[in-house]
Each structure stands twice: as structure tokens, then as C-alpha cells.
Amino acid sequence: MLILKILIVIIVLAMVAAAVLAVLIAKTTFKITCLQTDAQKKKNADPHIEFGQEQYADVIPRIHELVSNAEAAPCEWCEIKSSVDGTVLKGRFYRFSDADSPLMIFFHGYRGTALRDGCGGFKMAKETGRNILMVDQRANGESGGNVITFGVLERRDCRDWCEYAVKRFGENIKIMLSGVSLGAATVLMASDVGLPKNVKGIIADCGYSSPKEIICKVASEGGYPVSICYPLLKIACKLKSGFDLDSSSAVESVKNTDIPILIIHGDDDRYVPCEMAHKIYAACASKKELLIVSGAPHAAAYMFDEAKYTATAERFMSECLGE
């Protein structure tokens, strides 16, 4: 009996230890992956932060130049509240033409900034006379919140911004959506959430196929036990912030959309594999195009082949907008 009691105690202690360890892993994984404190938001809001890898050495001066041009341009700060949870969302509106001219709405990447990630799109908008709204995604920049949801809630925010644009600029406003990395996943995942008919096309630059696939890919490369960390992260997201990481994906969303989509990706992207672009393209049910930029790393396709990127994007937008 004594031995049995000892075994029971050992088993109970082991179960308690395992539970404590699971909670610790869940909290840590959530903090590393999804949480962005106010201090981190302030630091990452600097559009001149450099990526740091040797892949970007040749284009860093050009990035700084384009960012500075965007910074110098006058803008109007816009504000809405997310229909999901009331989070205050903000964005910069740049007017380059009449109020009823086509509007580009741009969404930046993971812990990124609209001015840096969208500096190429800003340049195209300015040169073609299209107005552009450059959004600070939830938990980034001037927008509220501290939890990044990898497109799950951001896709609803995207719809809110589109509805804001229609209300502000009128029922006839034509909208193009664009995004880079997380922003690309955001607009792709928003493609089947009932966007206004005013949305005529989507440009998705280096977007990932699903939250699960990109999180597991990065975790695996970092040496983390994916089979343990991802399920615990998913539980933490549900319990702490009320969203399900597996509730949406770019691949599943584009299967159900009729919005034309241009997918852009660099073939030397070491963060979001180029294979994900091919996977999204294959799944897309609407009119679609795929541009692979040779030698381009993550989020830098525009910088590596500005002429081809611009020509392809401008032609696609003109076709979508009926210009």
C-alpha cells in the first residue's frame, strides 16, 4: 500500500509539473509570437528600421529614399473602430486625385510599418494619381491593441476599412486592396468575408498560405518543438484573446472568392517560402496572376525589379478598375 501511495503521489506531481510546464510554454509562445507591447509598437513604428540581412544590402538606400519621400508627403489620419472587438484602428490617407478616384488600401507586414512595407505602392499611387490609404494594422503603429492575430481578426478589420471607404467616398468608389507579408495574408483572407462590391482587385505580395503553416515553419527553423508549441499557442490565443488560429487561411479563402488577385513573390524569400505563393495561386478560384521576381528576398520584390513589378501591378489595376 505504501508503494502504491508513493506511485500515486509521483504521478500526481508529474501531472502537476506537466501542466505547469504546458502553461509556461503556452504563455511564452503567445508572448513571442502574438504579443506586441506598447514599447515594442513604438520601436517597430520607425519605418527606417533595417532588416539586417545581407540579402537587403543593395536595396537599403533605395528603401530609405522611398520611405523618406512618403514621410514628407502630407496626409490625413483616419480612424475607425473594429467591428470585431472595438479596437481603434488608424491609417494615413494620401490624396493624389479627386475624392471619387480609385482608392488603394494598403496593409503592412508582421511587426512592420505601412510607410516601409508600402513605400513602393505609395510611389505608384503618387505617380498614377490614385489615392491611397495606408493602414496601421491592429497591435501596430498608431492603432490600438497588442495582439497580432496573423490575419484572423485583421481580415475583418480589412472589411471595416473597405466599408469606411464606401461610406466616406460614396457608393461608386472603386477600391484596390494591397498588402505585404502579413498584410498580403490579410487581404487574401479577407477575400471571402463579404467585402463590398467596390473592391475590384487584390495585390498580395509575399503572403503566407495560412497562419499555422508560417508559424510552424518559423518555429521549426528556430529549433522549437512544433508539435508541442503550436497546439499550446492555439489554446493560448483562444483563451487570452478569443481567436482561433486555424479559423481562416489564404488558401481556403481564395477558393471562395470572385475578386481578381495578383500574387507576387520573390524566389529567394527565406521567411515566407515562394512555394506558398504557388499554393495560393493553385487554389484561387477567381481571375488570377502570378509574378515571381528573381533573386528577391522577403518583402523586397519591388526593390529588386521595380520596372517589372510596377508594369505588372499597374496593368493589373487598370484592368480591374476598367481604365
Vertex 299 angle, CA 206 and 109, to 5°: 80
Burial of 107 (0-12, 13-18, 19+ CB in 10 A): buried
For residue 36, the model assigns a pLDDT of 96
Please give the DSSP secondary-structure letter assigned to residue 35: B
Q: How confident is the model at residue 14 (pLDDT cuts 50, 70, 90)?
A: low
Q: Closest Cα to residue 106, out of 319, 318, 313?
A: 313
Q: Render pLDDT for 87-133 as a digit per residue (tens, 0 to 9).
A: 999 999 999 998 789 999 999 999 999 999 999 999 999 999 999 99
Average predicted confidence (pLDDT) for the chain: 94
- The CA distances from residue 53 to 58, 59, 159, 214, 267, in Å, are 11, 11, 34, 19, 16
Is 80 exceeded by the pLDDT of residue 61? yes
Which of the listed ranges 10-14, 48-52, 153-157 does the model predict with the highest average pLDDT? 153-157
Contact status, residue 69 vs residue 47, Cβ threshold 8 Å: no
pLDDT the model gives residue 210:
98
Does the pLDDT value for residue 18 go beyond 70?
no
- Residue 277 has what pLDDT? 98
Asked if residue 213 has pLDDT above 80, the reply is yes
**pLDDT value at position 113?**
96
Edge-to-edge strands, sheet with 88-94: 76-81, 88-94, 131-136, 103-107, 175-180, 199-205, 261-266, 288-293
Per DSSP, helices labelled H in the chain are: 2-33, 38-44, 60-72, 114-117, 119-128, 154-169, 182-189, 211-221, 226-241, 250-254, 274-283, 301-304, 306-321
Q: 295, 54 in Cβ contact below 8 A?
A: no
Q: pLDDT band at residue 11, thresholds of 50, 70 and 90?
A: confident
pLDDT for 269-283, tens place per residue?
999 999 999 999 999
- Confidence at 173, pLDDT banded by 50, 70, 90: very high
The mean pLDDT value for 289-313 works out to 97
CA-wise closest residue to 93 among 108, 79, 77, 82: 77
The stretch 199-219 carries a mean pLDDT of 98
Query: What digits encode the pLDDT tens for the residues 30-57?
Result: 999 999 999 999 999 999 988 777 899 9
Structural domains present in the chain? 1-33+213-244 (no CATH), 64-210+248-321 (3.40.50.1820)
Task: Return the amino acid letter for 19.
Answer: A
Residue percentage of the chain with pLDDT more than 70: 97
CB-side neighbour CA atoms (13 Å) of 16: 6
Q: DSSP secondary structure string, 82-96?
A: -TTT--EEEEEEE-S
pLDDT band at 15 (very low <50, low <70, confident <90, very high): confident
pLDDT at 13: 67
Q: In the prediction, which pLDDT does 288 show? A: 98
Q: What is the pTM of this model?
A: 0.95
Please check the confidence at residue 237 and state whether its pLDDT lies above 90. Answer: yes
